[in-house]
Amino acid sequence: MKTIKGPALFLAQFAGDDAPFNSWDAISKWAADCGYKGVQVPSWDARMIDLDKAAASKGYCEDWAGQAKANGVEVTELSTHLQGQLVAVHPAYDDAFDGFAAPEVRGNPKARQEWAVDQVKKALSASKNLGIGAHATFSGALAWPYVYPWPQRPAGLVEQAFDELAKRWLPILDHAEDCGVDVCYEIHPGEDLHDGVTYEMFLERTGNHARANMLYDPSHYVLQCMDYIDNIDIYKDRIRMFHVKDAEFNPTGRQGVYGGYQSWVNRAGRFRSLGDGQVDFGAVFSKMAANDFDGWAVVEWECAIKHPEDGAREGAQFVNDHIVRVTERAFDDFADGGADTALNAKMMGITS
């Protein structure tokens, strides 16, 4: 067994225009002050990283990561959640997602998609330059508007959507293989890869690509009423990244999974700061340890109630309290009487 690394913090929810969240130097110092040992970095935010330079220059990566290390934190992974979303966008979401892209490709879905693919590839190259073996992203979605089939879906619509999704991602996955980096899809509502079944549909179409792996986040499974502990066992060989995020689901006679178009604070299912929701993190961390997960435990703070800075500081301690330092020996080794083949045969009454 292996001990999980952490705690680390995903910076996407904290980067902003006010100090200390508006520069790489300041935010990495702040994260260390909160008690974090690592940070996961949103590659779309120029205040955090120059992705073009990171993809092209090991020297830039060494200096950039070295600055964080000097401030007390390690770079755990890069993220292309926003760019990955743009690899596959259903036309219904063109306007909603256009703001994720560079200004010069907005309003042009074809150019935007090509830009997104290039961005993810650059982030994978940057990960290689940083010596990081895993990368976080979204899959994007072509079939999501049809998730609840009314009217009934035309025959073959979902299959064709997943064929196209795999076609778009295969060149990226091949580049990931060249870089020696795992692509870790966050299994997430709004993405075509939103549960285990859809992940398997995609994986099959990529030829079970070795780099098509998973980012495990139990909060998204709580809100779908899935068994988030069983999921760890099912996909233990594919889970290469871990977001530590809490959630609660409190259905009423008025609303359930779909939330009634309400704001986050008024939904039956909502994300919460660590320890304020319903995820059994004792079981999650134990299961991850038993399955030899040796990546980072990365806090992704999302809560409609608590202040983010309080959530961040509490999250670091929460993860520290839950990381299982695995044992190097069996608890009953003191009673080991020794054995050999002959003794074993004698104990079972086996004669030659």
pLDDT for 261 equals: 97
pLDDT for 264 equals: 96
Using an 8 Å Cβ cutoff, are 232 and 187 in contact?
no
User: Could you read off the pLDDT of 48-57 as tens digits, one per residue?
Assistant: 999 999 999 9
pLDDT at position 190 over 90: yes
| Residue recorded with tokens 């940057």 | 126
Nearest in space to 77 (alpha carbons), one of 259, 241, 196, 276? 241
pLDDT at position 335 over 90: no
pLDDT for 47 equals: 97
pLDDT at position 336 over 80: no
Which domains does the chain carry? 5-347 (3.20.20.150)
Report residue 332's pLDDT band, with 50, 70 and 90 as the boundaries: low
pLDDT for 329 equals: 72
Mean pLDDT estimate for the chain: 96
- Read off φ and ψ for residue 142, nearest 5 degrees: -110, -25
pLDDT at position 334 over 70: no
pLDDT for 338 equals: 75
pLDDT at position 125 over 90: yes
How far is residue 198 CA from its own chain's centroid? Answer: 16
pLDDT for 300 equals: 98
Strand ranges, E, within 118-264: 134-137, 182-186, 212-216, 239-244, 246-249
Report residue 341's pLDDT band, with 50, 70 and 90 as the boundaries: confident
Tell me how far apart the alpha carbons of residues 127 and 182 are, in angstroms, rounded to a whole number: 10
Using an 8 Å Cβ cutoff, are 76 and 31 in contact?
no
User: Could you read off the pLDDT of 207-257 as tens digits, one per residue?
Assistant: 999 999 999 999 999 999 999 999 999 999 999 999 999 999 999 999 999
pLDDT at position 142 over 70: yes
Tell me how far apart the alpha carbons of residues 313 and 310 are, in angstroms, rounded to a whole number: 5
pLDDT at position 331 over 90: no
